[in-house]
Structure 1
Amino acid sequence: MRRNLHLAFATLAAGTLLLGGLATATAQAAPAKAESLYAPSALVLGVARGEDPQTATVERAVTLSCAPTAGGTHPAPAAACKELAEVQGEFSELTAGPSNRTCTRQWDPIVVTAHGVWQGKAVRFSTTYGNACEMAGSMDDNAVFAF
């Protein structure tokens, strides 16, 4: 009888510990909190020599992050993020202006690219210019591709 009482007590204690452990493990399994209230905006911007963005030789590239604060390897991230916000991330709006420069017709193509995420939406932009002068004229000294 005494042995059965000890066995029953041991079983009850083990069950209590097991249930207590499960309750603790369940209580700790809370859903993960969102890390940010901002939609991500992180881009890789590049300038390459060649006609095709897939095969052009990259001459320079920078990273640009705009949310929650401007940063990255871009030399002027705050100005670049401000310009992108003004055009709602439409890179074609940054390069659409007519050039006031007089450029030669030399064919030495330059490709500018932007890949990544702008305010939570995927971005994949590229455009090709006949030469560096045409690119600089089209950019109209914007901060986004000034690196």
Structure 2
Amino acid sequence: MRKRLGVVLVAGLAATVVSVLPATAAPAPLANLTFAKVGTSPAGPVDKQVTLQCAPIGGTHPTAEAACTALIAVGGQFSLLPRAEGYGCGADYWPTTVTVTGTWRNKPVYFTKTYSNDCEASVGSNFVFHF
């Protein structure tokens, strides 16, 4: 009887300890970003916005997984995104500005760059800015 009482007491104590310990929060995503694109095009004004979350992948970016892969390859440094190979854009000047805000590895991100046109924004960022 004594042995059984000891087991019950230990089990009860363990349940109490677990119930008072704080729940651990889920880790923050690798990236939580908002992209904005404004400018002009032959079809009229450009004004778009999407979100991107990496690890886990999510948001409204149309190619979130590919965008996260490209960003991870450059350590989240937008200025290091390579130009996509094998693609060309016309020389038409329809300036498009892309702005990125949010966090990368829990650190604030702010990036802005003006491209000569929307195609250049896409190709010049390895399609991260293709939205």
Contact 1:98-1:138 at 8 Å conserved across structures = no
Mark the structure with the bigger radius of gyration.
1
- Compared CA separation, residues 124 and 78, structure 1 to 2 (3 A): same
Query: Would you say how many aligned residue pairs link Structure 1 and Structure 2?
Result: 109
Structure 2 equivalent of residue 114 of structure 1: 100
Q: 1:72 aligns with which of 45, 59, 63?
A: 59
- Compared CA separation, residues 59 and 99, structure 1 to 2 (3 A): farther
Contact 2:95-2:114 at 8 Å conserved across structures = yes
How far did residue 117 of structure 1 move?
0.4
Backbone CA RMSD of aligned residues:
3.0
Structure 1 equivalent of residue 69 of structure 2: 82
Structure 2 equivalent of residue 93 of structure 1: 80
More helix by share: 1
DSSP 3-state at the match of 1:48: strand
Name stretches of at least 5 consecutive residues in structure 2 with no aligned partner.
Answer: 1-16
More strand by share: 2
Structure 1 equivalent of residue 26 of structure 2: 36
DSSP 3-state at the match of 2:60: coil
Q: 1:144 aligns with which of 104, 114, 128?
A: 128
Q: Give, in whole Å, the separation in 1 of the partners of 2:50 and 2:33.
A: 8
